[in-house]
Chains A and B, each alone.
Chain A
Amino acid sequence: MNTHPGNGRQGNPEDIRTAIQGAISSEAEMYQALHDLHGDEKAPEVAGVEMTVPTTPENIVTDEDKAHMIEWETPEIPGRKPKEAPLAAALEDSAPAAAAVEAPNPTVSPVERPQTEEEKEAQKKIEAMGRRLAGERQSQEASSGKFEALKKRLEIMGTATRERAEKSGAYTLEKTRDVGEWYKKQPLSKKLLVSAGLLGLASGGAALGGAAGAGIATAAFTGSALQRVLGGAATFIAAEGVLKASSEAYKKGEERTPEEKKRHTIEALALAVLVGGGVVGHAAGNISHDIAKLFNGTPDAKPANPLYSEYVVPPGGTVWKAIEQKLNTQEGFDILSAEQKAAFMNTLKNKLAAMSPAELKAIGISSGDINTLTTGEKINLAPIFQDDKLLAHAATHMQQVAPNSVAPTPFEYPEEGPQPAQVIENSPEKNPVPAQVIENQFNKQSGLTPGSSERPISWNNNGSAAGRVEAHGGTTPGSGEAPIDWKASTVPYSTEMPHNDITNETPAVRIPKSEIFSPYEKMPQNIVPASPEVLAEANKTLQKDLDGLFGRRGFYTFGGNSGVDSAHWKDPKFGFANKTVADVMDAASHPNPSVSGAGIANHTQTLKMKEYLDNVRTYSHLNPAPGEKVSEYIKRAAIAVLQQQK
Chain B
Amino acid sequence: MNNELKAMLAKDLGIHDLPEEAQDQILASLGDIILRSTTTAIFERLNDEQRTQFEQLSADEDPSKIQDFLTQNVPDMPKLMEEEVKKTIARFKQAEDSVVENEII
Interface set of A (CB-CB < 8 Å, partner B): 142-143, 145-147, 149-151, 153-154, 157-158, 161-162, 164-165, 168, 171-172, 175-176, 179-180, 183-184, 188-189, 191-196, 198-200, 202-204, 206-213, 215-216, 225-226, 229-230, 233, 242-243, 246, 250, 261, 264-265, 267-278, 283-285, 463-464, 544, 547, 553-554, 559-560, 562
Whether B32 pairs with A158 at a CB distance below 8 angstroms is yes
Expressed in whole angstroms, the Cα–Cα distance for A518 and B9 within the complex equals: 62
Q: Are A175 and B43 closer than 8 Å at their CB atoms?
A: yes
* B51 contacts across to A, CB distance below 8 A: 171
Among B4, B40, B61, find the residue whose CB has the most chain A CB atoms closer than 10 A.
Answer: B61
Residues from chain A with a CB closer than 8 A to the CB of B81 are 198, 202-203, 273, 276-278, 554
Q: Are A168 and B105 in contact (CB under 8 A)?
A: no
B8 touches A212 (CB 8 A): yes
| Residues in B whose Cβ lies below 8 Å from that of A146 | 17-18, 99, 104-105
Please report the C-alpha to C-alpha distance between residue A209 and residue B15 in the assembled complex, in whole angstroms: 15
Check B44 for interface membership: any CB of A closer than 8 A.
Answer: yes
B-side interface size class: 35 or more
Using A207-B86, A230-B2 as known contacts, list a sample of 13 further A-B pairs with CB atoms less than 8 Å apart, ordered by residue number in A: A143-B19, A157-B88, A158-B36, A164-B37, A164-B40, A168-B40, A192-B1, A192-B24, A199-B27, A271-B66, A284-B64, A554-B77, A560-B77
Compute how far the CA of A312 lies from the CA of B30 in the bound complex, rounded to whole angstroms. 46
**B18 and A147 contacting across the interface, CB-CB below 8 Å:** yes
Q: Which residues of B contact A271 (CB under 8 A)?
A: 63, 66-67
Q: Are B5 and A168 in contact (CB under 8 A)?
A: no
**Using Cβ atoms and an 8 Å threshold, which residues of chain A touch B58?**
265, 268-269
Q: Is the CB of A198 within 8 A of B5?
A: no
CB within 8 A of B43: which of A171, A229, A270? A171
Residue of A nearest to B58 (CB): A265
Q: Is A179 a contact partner of B35 (Cβ separation < 8 A)?
A: yes
Closest Cβ–Cβ distance, residue B51 to chain A (whole Å): 6
B82 surroundings in chain A (CB, below 8 A): 202-204, 206-207, 277, 559
Q: How many Å lie between the Cα of A194 and that of B35 in the bound state?
A: 9
29 sample A-B contacts, Cβ–Cβ < 8 Å, listed by A number: A143-B22, A146-B18, A150-B15, A150-B95, A150-B99, A151-B25, A153-B92, A153-B99, A154-B95, A168-B43, A168-B44, A172-B44, A175-B40, A183-B32, A196-B9, A202-B78, A204-B82, A265-B61, A267-B61, A268-B63, A272-B67, A273-B38, A273-B39, A273-B81, A276-B71, A276-B77, A277-B82, A278-B78, A463-B68
Question: In the complex the two chains form, is B17's CB within 8 Å of A143's CB?
Answer: yes
B85 partner residues in chain A, CB cutoff 8 A? 198-199, 202-203, 207
6 A-B pairs with least C-beta separation? A195-B31, A554-B78, A153-B95, A277-B81, A560-B78, A272-B66
In the complex, the chain B residue whose C-beta lies closest to that of A276 is B77
- With contacts A216-B8, A243-B63 known, is A196 near B32, CB below 8 A? no
Complex formed: what's the CA distance from A180 to B32 in Å?
A: 7
Q: Which residues on B are within 8 Å of A, measured CB to CB?
A: 1-2, 4-6, 8-9, 11-13, 15, 17-19, 22, 24-40, 42-44, 51, 58-59, 61-64, 66-72, 74-82, 85-86, 88-89, 91-92, 95-96, 99, 102, 104-105
A142, B105: Cα distance in complex, Å? 5
Interchain CA distance A61-B29 in the complex, whole Å: 55
Of the candidates A184, A200, A273, the one whose C-beta lies within 8 Å of that of B5 is A200
- Taking a contact as CB atoms under 8 Å apart, the answer to whether A226 and B5 are in contact is yes
- Chain B residues, CB < 8 A from A272: 63, 66-67, 69-70
- Residues of A close to B96: CB separation below 8 A: 150
Inter-subunit contact B35/A273 (CB<8 Å):
yes
Q: CA A562 – CA B79 in complex, angstroms? A: 12
Cβ–Cβ contact B8 & A284, under 8 A: no
Chain A positions within 8 Å of B61 at CB level: 246, 250, 261, 264-265, 267-268
**How many Å from the CB of A241 to the closest CB on chain B?**
12
Given contacts A161-B36, A165-B40, A277-B78, are A195 and B8 in contact (CB under 8 A)?
no
Q: A residues within 8 A CB of B15?
A: 150
A184 to B63, CA, bound (A): 20
Give which listed residue, B1, B39, B80, contacts A176 with CB less than 8 A: B39
CB distance from B15 to the nearest CB of A (A): 7
For B80, list chain A residues within 8 Å (CB): 277
Which A residues are CB-close (under 8 A) to B92?
150, 153-154, 157
**Which residues of B are found within 8 Å of A207, using beta-carbon distances?**
82, 85-86, 89
Tell me which residues across on chain B come within 8 A of A188, comparing CB atoms: 24, 28
The distance in angstroms between the C-alpha atoms of A151 and B19, with both chains bound, is 14
Nearest residue, chain B, Cβ from A232: B2
Check A199 against B9 for contact (C-beta < 8 Å).
yes
Chain B residues within an 8 Å CB radius of A151: 25-26, 29
User: Which chain A residues lie closer than 8 Å to B11 at the CB level?
Assistant: 210-212
Q: What residues of chain A lie closer than 8 Å to B26, measured between beta carbons?
A: 147, 150-151, 154
CA gap between A146 and B105 in the complex, in Å: 6
Across-interface contacts of B59 in A (CB, < 8 A):
265
Shortest Cβ gap from A308 to chain B (Å): 17
Q: How far is the CA of A373 from the CA of B77 in the complex (A)?
A: 47
Find chain B residues with CB under 8 A from A464 CB: 72
Report how far A164 CA is from B86 CA in the complex, Å.
17
Q: Please, how many angstroms separate the alpha-carbon atoms of A212 and B44 in the complex?
A: 31
Shortest Cβ distance from A48 into chain B, in angstroms? 57
- Tell me, in angstroms, the Cα distance from A267 to B67 when the chains sit together: 12
User: Quick one: which of B71, B78, B95 has the most chain A CB within 10 A?
Assistant: B78
Residues of A within 8 Å of B79, CB to CB, are 559-560
Known: A200-B5, A276-B71. A269 touches B17 (CB 8 A): no
CB-based contact A165/B36 at 8 Å: yes
| Closest chain B CB from A267 CB (angstroms) | 8
Distance of A66 from chain B, by nearest CB (Å): 46
Residues of A within 8 A of B35 (CB): 179-180, 183, 194, 198, 270, 273-274
Nearest Cβ distance between residue B66 and chain A, in whole angstroms?
4
Evaluate contact between B67 and A276: CB separation under 8 angstroms: yes
> Is there an interface contact between A195 and B30, defined as CB atoms closer than 8 Å?
yes
> B31 touching A208 by the CB < 8 A rule?
no
Q: Smallest Cβ distance from A491 to chain B, in angstroms?
A: 34
Q: A171-B43, A179-B39, A195-B30 are in contact. Are A215 and B8 (CB under 8 A)?
A: yes
